[in-house]
Structure formats: C-alpha cells, structure tokens
Copies of this chain bind each other. A is one copy, B any other.
Amino acid sequence: MATAPKLPRVVNGINVEDLFSTIDAIKATPAIAKFKFRIRNQWKGASQNCSTANQFYGAGEEQSRPQPFVLEADEPAMLLGKDTAANPVEHLLHALASCLTTSMVYHAAARGIHIEAVESSFEGDIDLHGFLDLNSKVRKGYEGIRVKFKVKADVPDNQLSAVVNLGTTYSPVFDSLTNGVPVSVSAERL
C-alpha cells in the first residue's frame, strides 16, 4: 500500500524543518553561525545616495546574489533634497519594521503559532537643533521611536503581546538600535 510522501511542515510561510535543520547544523559546527553583512554606498551629489547590497559571508563562505539589490536615499525638499527616495531615518524605520516582523514570524513558526496578517506603524522624533548644531543638549538622532503592531494570529487576546515580544526579543535590528553598536570609521583619499 502506497504511503503519502511526507510534506515539509510550513508555518507562516517558513519551512520549520529547514529552520530546525539550520539550528542542528550550527550546534554541530558553531563557526557557520558567523555572518558578515555588507553594503557599498556611492554619493550621487547633494542629498542623494545609492547603496548596493550583494555579497555577504555566512555558513563558512562568501555568498552572493545573482545581481545586487539597489537602495536609494534622498531628502525631502524641506530638508534641501530632491525627494526622489525615502530619507536615511525613514530607511532606519524600515530596517526596524522588517526585522521585528520577520523575527516575530520565524520564532512564532518555531513554536507552531500561526500568524495570518501583520501590519505595523513606526514614528520617531528628531529635533533638528541637534543635527544643525544649535543646541548641544539635543541629540542628533531619534529621541524615541513608537511602534504599533496589529497582528492576526491563532492565540488568545492575553497572549498577543507575547507574540509581538518574540520580535523585540530576537530581532537583530531592534537589539542593535536599542542597545547600540560599536561603529569604527576610517577615511582615505579617493
């Protein structure tokens, strides 16, 4: 008698068997967990910048995409730009939003929690007295960021926050942004 082929267990679009295989592989060979992510940026004049993301290092070797992803940035006219793309501090919010969501979705999948839909909004405060060097007590960056998640998932109301907390607990960008990262900068002549 024929038996049905075993189907991969997919939760929230994530192949959970692949996820646990990755964990087993790292337990067996810890060095493959070390990743290096990279971008290259070129100034396009005035307020405009273009980055490419392609190669990264992971699982013990160099990895690359078929072609680089191109990321643009500009500033709105009010901030002396041409408003052709989102600005750097909006890109930072996108990095945070996508990382919180993906981290929540992956960790929910690993726990068998089914998520049907996620929407979120992000708002951060910047006082230009900092950037423009008009008041040394005002920081240059975001003074605070507020995040609102709306989630449709198969959990009772009192566990909804716990699902969203999977994002804040495991997100690399949330950790980087809330706890800070050491950044070293070198300069040479082009």
Residues of A within 8 A of B (CB): 12-15, 18-19, 22-23, 26-27, 30, 33-43, 45-47, 49, 51, 53, 56, 58-59, 63, 65, 69, 71, 73, 75-76, 78-80, 83, 85-103, 105-106, 115, 117-134, 139-152, 157, 160-161, 163-165, 167-190
Contact = CB atoms under 8 A, between A and B. Distances in A.
Contact of A132 (B22, B38, B42, B90): B22
Contact of A14 (B47, B96, B161): B47
A70 to B, nearest CB: 9
A31 B187 CA distance: 36
B190 A123 contact: no
A43 B117 CA distance: 7
Contacts of A90: 37-39, 53, 56, 69, 71
Contacts of A171: 88, 140-141
Given A13-B47, A152-B190, A170-B131, A145 B184 contact: yes
Contact of A178 (B51, B71, B183): B183
